[in-house]
Amino acid sequence: MSTEPPANPTLVDAPRPSLPSSTELGEREQHGLGSAPFRAVPKEFFKVQLPKHVDPTNYFTTECVRVQRRTEGANHHAVILQIGPARFGVNYRADKDSIDNELSVPYIFIRKLPGKMAYHTWFDQNDEEGENMDFPSGQKMKKRETFLKSLAHHMAKLQKLDFDKIDMLNFDNDIDAPVVVHSWETLDGVRMKRLAWPADLALDDISGNDVEKNERETHQHRGMRKIMDMILTAPPFATSKPQPDDENEKFVLRHPDLDLQNILTDSGGNVTGILDWHEAVTTPRCIGYAALPHFLTHDWHPRFTLEDSLYMSWSVDHYRCICVNAMNEACAEARWNDGKYTYKSVMYQAVYAAVTRGGSAPDLVNKTLLQLPGLRFMDLDEFQERPGRVLEGCWGLFRGGNSEIDGCGKDIGGTSFE
């Protein structure tokens, strides 16, 4: 008896289980059970479903679909298919609650874009250890510059989109008019709202309110809290108006992980696609589409060391300036130019990470203080202790600043957060 499935398998409606609770979804993922039904789906089912989703003209039939392979990792399972010249992936999506579909399993179809990961543009194939990162050949430097300029121009196209709230976009009701809704995440098996911005967040939650052992630590903690308060009330975060005289705030789209593995380029370094948008959020303008890509912000990450760095500080600043100039050029004809935020977005993104997830308020405060020339030879712990006693003295350092950055080549420490 032949074990081959029929060319056009007959599909019957599977029973639709009720939506699981948030806790049940979290437990599924915690124990690795969430994708089990997806793994069990035969490949012939995907061959039938793909034309329905991607070919409204009904030109392609099931026989035109070829299943190339199945692949999985610790947190994903995907089926790779080809229909005509195009390739698609069917991915299990643990972060989608809805199972009201043909599979009774959350999934998404993704079309393969042209190009290769930007790693191939940025790194030399024979330099796996990164020993020549600061000394690229002329051809490699030209590719990097082309890549950064192209990336800035592509991201600047998002300036056409703005929103009246902060959080995640939902396209379920109208793909052309998404609405901003709360985002969710699973932590320790519990489904909970993800913090998008600390509108009413107690500073204790982000500054590490450990039990103070003595008077000095008490004052030091108060000083750090006050510095965080100054940062969060500085103009880039205090308001997100496109123009100072605008009546309402507007927020912009932010990519969740704009790093080399999520950017595709052609052989010349031109960007052909940007991936992994599923956790994109709306944010204040200073950390939105005009912000520096992740791979140019490593020195502001917590626990940063030279061992983790791709290049020395004088090199990374050169690349940042390429992004700044390209973003300013791309935004030049807009009513407002968010390129003014690009250079210092390395600091702004560290603030965002500190108050949401992945960052460190103590690390942020120390690195911020080091940007102020008058503090570079001081004991930072001692300085943070003093603002806890004389808060007004510190306020001027952060609100006064020297001058606003209007281009590259200036020390980022020569100004405040404004």
- Cβ contacts of residue 161 below 8 Å, gap of 6+? 252, 253
Confidence band of 131 (pLDDT split at 50, 70, 90):
low
Over range 352-364, report the average pLDDT.
87
Confidence band of 26 (pLDDT split at 50, 70, 90):
very low
Domain edges within the chain: 22-112, 119-414
Mean pLDDT score across all residues of the chain: 76
Over range 287-294, report the average pLDDT.
96
* Backbone CA torsion sign across 244, 248, 253, 257: positive
Confidence band of 326 (pLDDT split at 50, 70, 90):
very high
In percent, how much of the chain has pLDDT > 90? 26
Confidence band of 22 (pLDDT split at 50, 70, 90):
very low
Confidence band of 415 (pLDDT split at 50, 70, 90):
very low
Report the pLDDT value the prediction gives residue 406, as an integer from 0 to 100: 39
- Cβ contacts of residue 232 below 8 Å, gap of 6+? 198, 238, 351, 355
- Cβ contacts of residue 24 below 8 Å, gap of 6+? none
Q: Where are the beta strands (DSSP E) in 176-274?
A: 179-181, 184-187, 190-193, 252-254, 263-265, 271-274
Alpha helices per DSSP H over 55-169:
119-122, 138-156
Over range 48-52, report the average pLDDT.
84
Query: Buried (b) or exposed (e) across 360-377, using 16+ Cβ within 10 A?
Result: bbbbbbbbbbebbeeeee
In percent, how much of the chain has pLDDT > 70? 70
Backbone angles phi, psi at 40, to 5 degrees: -80, -10
Q: Radius of gyration over alpha carbons of the chain, in Å?
A: 25
Question: What confidence tens digit (pLDDT) does each residue in 72-89 have?
Answer: 766 667 888 898 888 888
- Cβ contacts of residue 409 below 8 Å, gap of 6+? 321
Report the pLDDT value the prediction gives residue 133, as an integer from 0 to 100: 74
> Between these two residues, 183 and 343, which has the higher pLDDT value?
343
Return the number of other C-beta atoms located less than 10 Å from residue 214's C-beta.
8
Axis crossing angle, helix 215-232 with helix 361-370, rounded to the nearest 10: 80
Report the pLDDT value the prediction gives residue 31, as an integer from 0 to 100: 43
Q: Using the predicted structure, report yes or no on whether residue 25 has a pLDDT greater than 70.
A: no
The pair of three-digit structure tokens given for residue 220, joined into one six-digit string: 């030091």
Report the pLDDT value the prediction gives residue 213, as an integer from 0 to 100: 56
Ranking 60-69, 139-148, 170-179, 201-210 by mean pLDDT, the lowest is: 201-210
Q: Which amino acid is at 308?
A: D
Inter-residue contact 123 to 152 (CB < 8 Å):
no
Question: Order of strands, edge to edge, in the sheet holding 86-92?
Answer: 65-72, 77-83, 86-92, 107-111
Left (φ > 0), alpha (ψ -120 to 50) or beta: where does 72 sit?
Answer: beta
Over range 58-74, report the average pLDDT.
84
Q: Using the predicted structure, report yes or no on whether residue 12 has a pLDDT greater than 50.
A: no
Angle at alpha carbon of residue 17, lines to 14 and 19, rounded to 5°: 135
Backbone angles phi, psi at 257, to 5 degrees: -160, 70
Strands 190-193 and 77-83: unpaired
